[in-house]
Amino acid sequence: MKVSTEQVDMWINNSIVASSNYYEIRDPGRLTDVVARVAKGTVEDANHAVEAAHIAFLTWRTLDKNERINLVMAAANELENSIPTLSPLLAREYGGLLGEAQLDFGYGVGITQFTAGIAGPYLASEIIEDETCRIEIEKVPRGVVVAIVPWNFPIALTMMKLAPALVTGNTLIVKPSPNAPAALTLGLQKMASVLPPGVLNIVNGDGDVGQTLTRHHLVRKISFTGGANTAKYVMADAGSTIKNVTLELGGNDPAIILDDVNPADIMPALVRGIFTRSGQICFAVKRIYVPQSIYEDFFDTMCQVVDEIKVGHGLDERATMGPVNNRAQYQFVKDWFDDIKNGKIDTSGKVELDTIISGVPTTMSLGGLHSSFSNYNKEGRIFAIDVALI
């Protein structure tokens, strides 16, 4: 089957910006398919984006709030109109199911519309006065905001940063993840096309681009979603000019099962909470605490439900889970299972294909923060969760 390959350029000051260097995004479910060729930005591109955003800020912040809100609503409509064409692209580049990609876009649109809808009352001036004092409260924009976003749920997570920043009078530069930049960049370009020049800019690239953005003296706010290791560098760079920083990092979320539960009643929802997006989301369940009195029934029921999962390509209607996103994720899972074997953990259950790890000591590290993943390759399927006895 012939597949299309998108060329994805940067967007700065309401203009397409090409590059002398493009990198390939391959379909995690079909590694021979090139989904997109993405422009790799440079330090100069990052500086250009900051300067454009700063110039735009000087006008954007003075715009009547209702006009700003209407423009952000119009941008949300552009994103909504792009769902039919960009959802399949997102599924192909990040490994998720088509339904998950559509949900990501739907959440993104809803977040943007909701934020714009409540912005009017929030931005209204407030005066508190009595016989002894008068207090006036004004919401003042900060300036240029940099949003650094991940690949696992890129549309919704970007809109959580974009919508509040723009309606409050800030301008924005988005740096997508290099593991899933195509659909997000193209969607943002659609949104930016109805906004004034420089209000929304998109720069793809490596660490040098990110560092230029986080260190630039004209950037006044950084919003980062990703791993703790990278967050340390973001904080250090922001400290040089005392920028405001918001960090959304990984989670280590347990599910606590009570002894009056019927495992069959909760298992479908629990398994979704573990394996949605192949377990590659920060709030996925990583560890389950189960009372001994219902442990055997719980474990057997979980095996049955997990066995119904069908791993496949995100555009295959038969699939209920997609592959992991990238080589690093794949190696993470492989290393994780090596750790389990070295720890001599009981892997009774679905060993050959779908694997549920039981009897895990509460002190055992299971590969860091994200312990639940799927893997789709020529060797078959792997599912893993950890179940601890209490």
Which CATH number does the domain housing residue 341 bear? 3.40.309.10
Single-letter residue type at 5? T
Domain of 322, in residue numbers: 253-389
Query: What pLDDT shows up at residue 346?
Result: 47
Reply yes or no on whether the pLDDT at 362 is more than 70. Answer: no
| The last residue of a domain, from among 225, 248, 271 | 248
H or E segment to which residue 94 belongs = helix 83-94
In this structure, are residues 377 and 330 in contact, taking their beta carbons and an 8 Å threshold?
Answer: yes
Q: How confident is the model at residue 380 (pLDDT cuts 50, 70, 90)?
A: very low
Of 190-194, 218-222, 350-354, the range with the lowest mean pLDDT is 350-354
Q: How confident is the model at residue 390 (pLDDT cuts 50, 70, 90)?
A: very low
Give the C-alpha separation, 224 to 226, whole Å. 6
User: Crossing angle for the helix pair 43-60 and 207-215, nearest 10 degrees?
Assistant: 40
Q: Indicate if 73 and 222 belong to the same structural domain.
A: yes
Reply yes or no on whether the pLDDT at 272 is more than 60. Answer: yes
- Per the domain annotation, does 1 fall within a domain? no
Of 84-98, 133-147, 300-314, the range with the lowest mean pLDDT is 300-314
Q: Indicate if 209 and 259 belong to the same structural domain.
A: no
Q: Indicate if 262 and 238 belong to the same structural domain.
A: no
Of 248, 303, 308, 317, catalytic: 248
Q: Indicate if 156 and 65 belong to the same structural domain.
A: yes
Q: Indicate if 266 and 164 belong to the same structural domain.
A: no
Of 4-8, 168-172, 374-378, the range with the lowest mean pLDDT is 374-378
Q: How confident is the model at residue 163 (pLDDT cuts 50, 70, 90)?
A: very high
- Per the domain annotation, does 131 fall within a domain? no
- Per the domain annotation, does 239 fall within a domain? yes
Query: What pLDDT shows up at residue 287?
Result: 81
Reply yes or no on whether the pLDDT at 352 is more than 50. Answer: no
Is 282 part of the annotated catalytic residue set? yes
Q: How many domains are contained in the chain?
A: 2
- Per the domain annotation, does 88 fall within a domain? yes
Beta bridge partner(s), residue 6: 36
Of 80, 93, 100, 282, catalytic: 282
Using one digit for the tens of pLDDT, what is the confidence trace for 44-97? 999 999 999 999 999 999 999 999 999 999 999 999 999 999 999 999 999 999
Query: What pLDDT shows up at residue 374?
Result: 31
Contacts of 203 (CB under 8 A, 6+ apart): 10, 12, 41, 45, 46, 49, 173, 174, 175, 209, 213
Q: Indicate if 237 and 282 belong to the same structural domain.
A: no
Is 248 part of the annotated catalytic residue set? yes
Q: How confident is the model at residue 359 (pLDDT cuts 50, 70, 90)?
A: low
Higher pLDDT, 376 or 389: 389
Reply yes or no on whether the pLDDT at 363 is more than 50. Answer: no
In this structure, are residues 168 and 123 in contact, taking their beta carbons and an 8 Å threshold?
Answer: yes
